[in-house]
Amino acid sequence: MNFKLLKTSKKSQARLGILKTAHGKIPTPFFMPIATRGSVKSLASKDLKTLGADIILSNTYHLYFRPGLKVIQKSGGLHQLMNWPGPILTDSGGFQVFSLGSKFDKLNKSNQLVRITEKGAEFRSVYDGSKHLFTPQSVIKIQQVFGSDIMMVLDQCVANPASRQQAEEAAARTLRWAKISQTASVGAHNCAPNTQHVASRDAARKKNHLLFAIVQGSLYKDLRLKCAQELGKMNFAGYAIGGLAVGESPKEMYKVLDYTVPALPQNKPHYLMGVGYPEQIIESVKRGIDMFDCVIPTREARHGRLYVWNRRSLRARNFYKTINIASAKFAAETSAINPGAKLPELREYSKAYLRHLFSVGEPLALRLATLNNLEFYLKLMEKIRVNIKNNKL
């Protein structure tokens, strides 16, 4: 078993566990900083280790184009290319295909950039307009070249609100693609080369991945439950919930989690894709979610918005706040960016200095703000795990 459930809180459905991957064990619940193109913007891999990140997420769509499979393969895989020793989760690229093509407009109209067929997703590159096809099989092969620890199947995501017909068709196709993906993954295991010309670590890298399925169904309970139950029968290594945080309210998202998470295999990790704000992570953990990723901490950092602790207890209302470091009130604020930070830069540089860096466009501003926000998110997960252990969450 790759996942060991250690404890379920007496107060909620919050869980503690250990997820075992080819590049290390990860305590759950956890948050994955996003290294879209093989890098968390403005940070080096060693910064992520210093912050305490156990796993990162990279994007199949963008890496497929740049630097491309040949460069990644020649480098020995994504870990070697990035000089990152820990686990890596890669998405299938499907979300980017659908979102970059349709822009998730409210009507979810079809367009000329993306064409979905039973075979896969045909699309034009946002880089040069060239035509490409992602299939359930091809995204598995791409992620195997990466050497991903956790690979996601190709699914079809629709924006909310979606019509019943749109959601039903996407969920059904997601199920069919999941079966194909699983077969492609198992086939790669059985057919992995074992000759003198292939290094044993490369063969192991292709075999020792975990394949996660994705539950779709928009905001329709019966579709979500059917998708969860059918995927559960396929015995994937883990289960993600997709198609949320794409237009619905937090209340609607929590409602979907309330009925979907209990339908997932309870002996497997549960991953909520693309979420979210700190309070959303806490509410989702209480509903049985173990894994998170989101662009919020790094994207907000690039806009000068810093996450700061307000209260020690996660149960306190407004336990955190965000500050706009560009505000004039910080022009002469000589206190540290984060006096209790793990990293010395956040303790040694002042808010006034950080504001100055943003005002003159110095790249160091992005680095310091990103370090602050990721440290906040990773500390949030530490606090969550302690609270679950003590039955306080």
Catalytic residues: 91, 293
- Angstrom CA distances, 89 to 24, 246, 273, 382, stand at 12, 21, 12, 20
Residue with token string 């000329």? 112
- CA 50, 56, 60, 63: dihedral to nearest 10 degrees? 0
Q: How far is CA 141 from CA 59, 118, 130, 154, 189, in A?
A: 14, 18, 20, 12, 11
- What is the tally of helices (H) and strands (E) in the chain? 15, 16
Collapsed DSSP state (helix, strand, coil) of residue 59: coil
Take residue 227 and report the two structure tokens written for it: 């998708």
Q: What is the gyration radius of the CA atoms in the chain, in angstroms?
A: 21
Let me know: does 30 contact 290? Beta carbons within 8 Å. yes
Distance CA 120, CA 135 (A): 4
What are the backbone angles phi and psi of residue 345, rounded to the nearest 5°?
-60, -40
Using the structure block, give the residue that is written with the tokens 């996942």: 3
What pairs with residue 133 in β-bridges? 122
Contacts of 41 (CB under 8 A, 6+ apart): 298, 302, 366, 370
Alpha helices in the chain, H assignment, sequence order = 45-51, 60-63, 69-75, 78-82, 94-102, 136-146, 164-190, 200-207, 221-233, 250-260, 278-285, 296-302, 344-348, 351-360, 363-389
